[in-house]
Amino acid sequence: MAKASANTELCKGCRLCVDACPKQAIIPLETVNKKGYEIISIDQGKCIGCGICYKMCPDYVFTVE
């Protein structure tokens, strides 16, 4: 099944994706990227590859293959 991956260096920490994911597969972290924004992590065990995060993220963090 397709899964999402994330380039978290592009993340701006808006957290829009966290609520948008229908499977609660996107976990907000306190870890920051090089730009100082708090990033997210994808729980690959929960992700169904629906692509909602890809459409939702304003900063093109996600890739779904």
Least gap, CB of 34 to ligand SF4 (angstroms)? 14
Candidates 20, 1, 23; CA nearest to 61 is: 20
Restricting to residues 27-56, name those near ligand SF4 by CB under 6 A.
Answer: 40, 42, 47-53, 56
Least gap, CB of 12 to ligand SF4 (angstroms)? 4
Question: What residues does 62 pair with on adjacent strands?
Answer: 6
Greatest C-alpha distance within the chain:
33
Residues of this chain that interact with ligand SF4 (CB under 6 A) are: 4, 11-17, 21, 23, 25-26, 40, 42, 47-53, 56-57, 59, 61, 64
